[in-house]
Every structure is written in structure tokens, then in C-alpha cells.
Structure 1
Amino acid sequence: MNGGGAVERSPTVAVAVFILKGSAVLLGRRLSPIGKDTFALPGGRLEFGESLEECAKREVKEETGLEVKNIEVVKVVNDVVRDGPNPSHFVTILVRAELVESDQVPATLEPDKCEGWDWFPWDQLPQPLFRPLESLVHSGFSPFSSPSL
């Protein structure tokens, strides 16, 4: 607590991974309470002392079983939600990655958090999208373009 009695909060840093295959991107349907039934990228929270590349590789492996390489930061998003019962502040580092082996097939390794993974053409994304991803898409961002930090 600070002097005013308010709970001090710190931003959470997350890494979300665009895994590209041709003109498609890998998305999974979320089952967790935040964003339930929306489609989202693989990813998660950065652990203490971990590099962005290590986090991206770990999260993708834990969630999909896929191995990725050539990880490149393509966008940083600062998302603050002040209203509601659980205010939050996420700084999400969006990275683009390639499959180590192009014939890898994603597996659903966290069935309590994700219903399943599939490839979707960027111009035919499923609905509804996870709110941060939807905002990014509506801004005109494309993971197939050069980085726009």
C-alpha cells in the first residue's frame, strides 16, 4: 500500500507469438475466464530473468508442442484497463516466429486453457478475436509486414 491507501500495482509483461505458415497464422480458442471463447495467439507472461526469445519458445512449446526459431519483435502494445473489478496493465511484446520444421502439427497441450489450435488465413480470421488481437487487427497491423514498434 502506498500513503493514500491504494494498492500499488505493477504492469505485467507478456509475449504473444505470431507463428506464420504461408498466409496463415496460428490461433487457439481460449477457455480461461479472461477472453473465454475468443481466438488468440499462443503466448504468456515473461518470467523473471527470461529473454523475450526464451519466453516465446517456452510458451509456444508448452501450449502447442511446436518448436520455433527466428523470433523477431514486430510490435509492442501497452494495454491499461482501469475500470471493472480487476484493473490490469499488460505490456505485450508481439513477436513473429518461424517453425523449426515446417511439417510440425500443433497439439492442444493445455486443454484447460485452450480448446485447440488451427491455422487461419490473415484475411479470414475467426470471430470473435481476443480483444487485444482484435484491436491490433482493426488498427491495420499485419504480422506479414515489417516491424512497426
Structure 2
Amino acid sequence: METPRVGVGVFVVKERSVLLGRRRSSIGNSTFALPGGHLEFGESFEECGAREVKEETGLELEKEKMELLTVTNNVFRDPPEPRHYVVVFLRSAVADPNQSPENTEPEKCDGWDWYRWDDLPSPLFPPLQEMVNNGFDPFSSE
């Protein structure tokens, strides 16, 4: 039986917009998702979030200003492999607001862009869509 894994997703924010990319993956292929990835042994959530955002987008984050927003429990039952992820969601701004995201892992993502929170693209990655459906707002505690 598969053991649950821990993921970290980052709401990289700029004004009322979030950074999203279209996934190229066996889970949620062609859906729009936040940057993020797997927590590595010994890493803090903030270290993981900053590392993953840097690896995927080239962006440097304000690590000292990262905030924990929420945690979700996600079970993907669809083939080819069922997966179970506990995902920690953080919020951060880009350290240099003039820096633009790059698609540094084109095999995993079709590209990154900024989307206003009140005008998100479709389809969203299912866990993100569920958060939106439940009224989650990454800007509500600012």
C-alpha cells in the first residue's frame, strides 16, 4: 500500500494575482496549479516552498515573509497509480517584483503566468478547485 506523501504548494502573490502553471503530469494533467513539490527529508516547509518555486519558475521568494495558510488532505484514486498527499500551502511574494517567471521545467509545465484571484483559468488542479469552491481566499489574512 502506498504511503501518504507531503507536498508544499506556494501561493506566489502579486497584488490580487497568483502565479499558476498548466501541469504536464500523470496527476492533474492540463490543469492549472500552483508551483510546489515534495518535501524532502529535513526540510522546513518554507525551505521546500522556496526551493520548488526557484526550480520551477526561477523566482526567488521572500522566505522570511512566507506564511502558512492551510493544509489539505488529498486522495487521488485514478489510474495509473492512486496517490495520497498531505499538502501544506504557503503564501509568499517575489523578492524582486521586477523578476518574471520562467518555465524552467518544460517537461512538467506548459508555462507560468499571473492570474487575478477573481478571474482564475480553467480547469484548475482538483485540490485547488476544491479550495476555491469552499471559499478559500489566499488574500483574506493580509
Q: TM bucket by the smaller chain?
A: over 0.9
Question: Which runs of 5 or more structure 2 residues have no equivalent in the other structure?
Answer: none
Q: 2:107 is matched with which residue: 109, 112, 132?
A: 112
Say whether the 8 Å CA contact 2:26–2:80 is kept in structure 1: no
1:12 aligns with 5
Q: State the AA in 1 paired with 2:108.
A: K
> Within 5 Å, which residues of 2 pair with 1:1-149?
7=1, 9-69=2-62, 70-82=65-77, 84=79, 86-146=81-141
* Post-superposition offset of 1:82: 4.6
* Post-superposition offset of 1:36: 1.1
- Structure 1 runs of 4+ aligned residues shifted over 2 Å read 80-87
TM-score by length of 1: 0.89
Distance 1:13 1:134 in 2: 19
SS at structure 2 position matched to 1:132: helix
User: Identity over the aligned pairs, expressed in percent?
Assistant: 56
Provide the aligned length of Structure 1 versus Structure 2: 140
1:4 aligns with none
Distance 1:111 1:10 in 2: 28
The superposition leaves residues 75-125 of structure 1 with CA deviations (integer Å, 9 ceiling, x where unpaired) of 100112456552221000000011111111000000000010000000000
Question: Which runs of 5 or more structure 1 residues have no equivalent in the other structure?
Answer: 1-6
Q: CA 1:137/1:53 → structure 2, altered by over 3 Å: closer, same or farther?
A: same
Q: CA 1:33/1:88 → structure 2, altered by over 3 Å: closer, same or farther?
A: closer
Q: What RMSD over aligned residues (CA atoms) do the two structures have, in Å?
A: 1.4
Distance 1:85 1:32 in 2: 11
The superposition leaves residues 27-60 of structure 1 with CA deviations (integer Å, 9 ceiling, x where unpaired) of 0011112111110000000001111111001000
